[in-house]
């Protein structure tokens, strides 16, 4: 068998068609991409493989295809961010604390994709415990941006973004706590969507900040993200107390639905896109703004209208997030004490000494920093002043969005203030890293769905993403809006030289 195009050039939808038409087998696709991943190992996108398990999954998918079964993901290779536990692959969360840890069960997201026939190629690099904006906080090796390997791919889902952008896998899972799907998708020129908080189960996701963490897909197009999200989303209330009892949706079918009053020339006629004035100020680099404005002009051609709005508490999202997220991290990571699982110090004097040495040896600097901040804001005498106050402002940030949605159907703006920076450039300045999340944090704090859509290039020929934010449970509308843009443009088809 041979495909019309090389496997690494094909997206999820194209691969699915090739598999169904017997132009390619799932085993061949998996072998091709595993070999490609080994060739580009220096990119640092992958942390673990299990070729025997991958090929067994591919053989099972080929048997299902031969029996006449058809699903959009059957036999399609994907890969998982190393924050989801997996039976067939080690799960480290990018940390020495969990080095070589093997889970006895699969995360719900992993399980649901496997049930649809997706074939897992391996585990993808990430910032340690998903804490970071560049995947240079990984305890094993930094991931590199395939558009310029001297730059970060974004974080914390940087391994996922780099792997998709470099053609090492057609799609991957990611997690977004404060922008960790959208920002790396922007930096690497791919599409990524963070659904409404609670839309995808957190069962089996190594926890960072429980009220913020959310799983989502990363792929080259909105069409491919829709196929993955259809499989991933849905209630899991028996296993995840934060899962929402909201029925699953077919997002792929939603892409084909026409808006009322729309035409072939203007498929988005009647759509009101809100532009927050706080997203377009002096803090955003001119090259990023130029790409975003060009994308918005394209949306106007497609029939959408632009409306000026305000999200007045945007600047407060950084201090609010960096109180709440570390507080929850401090609580969640207290379980890693060297007793039942995870790293244990080789030498210690007593139980307390074992705790101290095990955690000091295995947690990296950024994780230690956030644990210390979180422990401080939760401590007696500071809880009311910091944590409770942050939760109050969080509610006001969510109210700002609801006020904005009375004036528009969707919100748009940049994903990040700049294109991807050089690896190590912000390592010694945590605050600079935190400020880079200014446009994504508020969406996460409000629990809203948001996505990044490739929208052009900025300085150094580096990708720029357009951020789209919808109201609760409006993922279908976000994907539909992104899909219309991608049918009219080819930014999502661009690939980095050498890959």
| Tens of pLDDT, residues 86-136 | 999 999 999 999 998 999 999 999 999 999 999 999 999 999 999 999 999
Q: How many helices (H) and strands (E) does the chain have?
A: 16, 11
181-to-66, 130, 194, 209, 301 alpha-carbon distances in Å: 35, 11, 7, 15, 28
Q: Which domain holds residue 13?
A: 7-255
* 117, 180, 216, 466 from 487: Cα distances, Å: 27, 26, 22, 15
Active-site position among 26, 180, 243, 444? 180
d(CA 171, CA 228): 8
Q: What is the structure's pLDDT at 430? A: 79
The answer to whether residue 96 is catalytic is no
Q: Is the pLDDT of residue 288 over 60?
A: yes
Residue 452 lies in a domain: no
Is residue 19's pLDDT more than 80? yes
Q: What is the pLDDT of residue 433?
A: 80
From the candidates 81, 194, 357, 426, give the one annotated as an active-site residue. 81
Report how far residue 33's alpha carbon sits from residue 123's, in angstroms, rounded to the nearest whole number. Answer: 14
Looking at the domain assignment, is residue 439 inside a domain? no
The answer to whether 191 and 222 are in contact (CB under 8 A) is yes
- Which residues are CB-neighbours of 371 under 8 A, at least 6 positions away? 326, 329, 330, 333, 363
Helix (H, G, I), strand (E, B) or coil at 319: helix
Domain tally, the chain: 1
Tell me the H-state helices in 21-77: 26-39, 51-66
Q: Confidence class of residue 435 from pLDDT cuts 50, 70 and 90?
A: confident
| Stronger pLDDT, 258 or 8, i.e. the higher one | 8
Q: Is residue 451 one of the residues assigned to a domain?
A: no
Question: Can you tell me the distance from the alpha carbon of 475 to that of 480, in angstroms, rounded to the nearest whole number?
Answer: 8
Give pLDDT tens digits for 188-232: 999 999 999 999 999 999 999 999 999 999 999 999 999 999 999
The reply to whether 189 falls in a domain is yes
Residue 489: how many CB atoms within 10 A of its CB?
Answer: 17
List the CATH number of the domain containing 62. 3.90.1300.10
Give the residue among 275, 271, 282, 281 at the shortest CA–CA distance from 308. 275
- The verdict on residue 71 lying in a domain is yes
180 in catalytic set: yes
pLDDT in tens, 317-369: 999 999 999 999 999 999 999 998 899 999 999 999 999 999 999 999 999 99
- Whole-number average pLDDT of the chain: 96
64 falls within a domain: yes
Catalytic residue (one of 95, 120, 156, 157): 156
Q: Is residue 111 part of a domain?
A: yes
39-83 pLDDT per residue, tens: 999 999 999 999 999 999 999 999 999 999 999 999 999 999 999
């Amino acid at each position: 068998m041979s495909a019309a195009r090389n496997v690494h050039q094909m997206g999820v939808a194209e691969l699915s068609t090739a598999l169904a038409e017997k132009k390619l087998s799932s085993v061949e696709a998996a072998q091709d991409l595993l070999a490609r991943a080994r060739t580009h190992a220096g990119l640092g996108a992958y942390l673990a493989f299990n070729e025997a398990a991958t090929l067994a999954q591919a053989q099972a998918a080929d048997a299902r295809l031969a029996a006449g079964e058809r699903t959009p993901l059957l036999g399609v290779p994907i890969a998982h961010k190393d924050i989801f536990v997996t039976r067939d692959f080690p799960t480290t969360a990018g940390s020495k604390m969990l080095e070589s840890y093997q889970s006895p069960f699969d995360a719900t997201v992993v399980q649901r994709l496997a049930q649809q026939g997706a074939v897992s190629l391996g585990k993808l690099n990430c910032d340690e415990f998903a804490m970071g904006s560049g995947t240079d906080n990984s305890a094993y090796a930094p991931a590199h941006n395939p558009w310029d390997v001297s730059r970060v791919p974004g974080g914390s889902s940087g391994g996922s973004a780099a792997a998709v952008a470099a053609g090492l896998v057609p799609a991957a899972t990611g997690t977004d706590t404060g922008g960790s799907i959208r920002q790396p998708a922007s930096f690497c020129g791919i599409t990524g969507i963070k659904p409404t908080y609670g839309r995808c189960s957190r069962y089996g996701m190594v926890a960072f900040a429980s009220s913020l963490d959310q799983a989502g897909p990363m792929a080259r197009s909105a069409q491919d993200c829709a196929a993955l999200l259809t499989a991933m989303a849905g209630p899991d209330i028996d296993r995840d107390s934060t899962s929402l009892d909201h029925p699953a949706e077919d997002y792929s079918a939603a892409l084909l639905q026409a808006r009322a009053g729309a035409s072939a020339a203007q498929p988005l006629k009647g759509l009101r896109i809100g532009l927050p004035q706080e997203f377009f100020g002096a803090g955003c680099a001119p090259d990023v703004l130029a790409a975003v404005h060009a994308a918005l002009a394209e949306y106007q051609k497609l029939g959408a209208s632009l409306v000026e709005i305000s999200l007045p508490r945007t600047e407060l999202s950084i201090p609010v997030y960096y109180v709440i997220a570390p507080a929850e991290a401090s609580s969640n990571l207290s379980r890693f004490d060297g007793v039942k699982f995870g790293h244990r110090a080789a030498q210690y004097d007593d139980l307390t000494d074992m705790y101290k040495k095990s955690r000091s040896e295995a947690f990296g600097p950024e994780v230690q920093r956030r644990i210390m901040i979180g422990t401080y804001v939760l401590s007696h005498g500071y809880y009311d002043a910091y944590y409770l106050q942050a939760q109050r402002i969080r509610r006001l940030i969510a109210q700002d969005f609801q006020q904005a949605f009375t004036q528009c159907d969707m919100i748009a703006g940049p994903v990040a203030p700049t294109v991807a920076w050089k690896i190590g450039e912000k390592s010694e300045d945590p605050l600079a890293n935190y400020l880079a999340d200014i446009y994504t944090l508020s969406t996460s704090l409000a629990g809203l769905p948001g996505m990044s859509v490739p929208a052009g290039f900025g300085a150094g020929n580096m990708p720029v993403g357009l951020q789209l934010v919808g109201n609760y449970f409006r993922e279908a509308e976000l994907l539909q809006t992104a899909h219309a843009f991608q049918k009219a443009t080819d930014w999502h088809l661009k690939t980095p030289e050498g890959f």
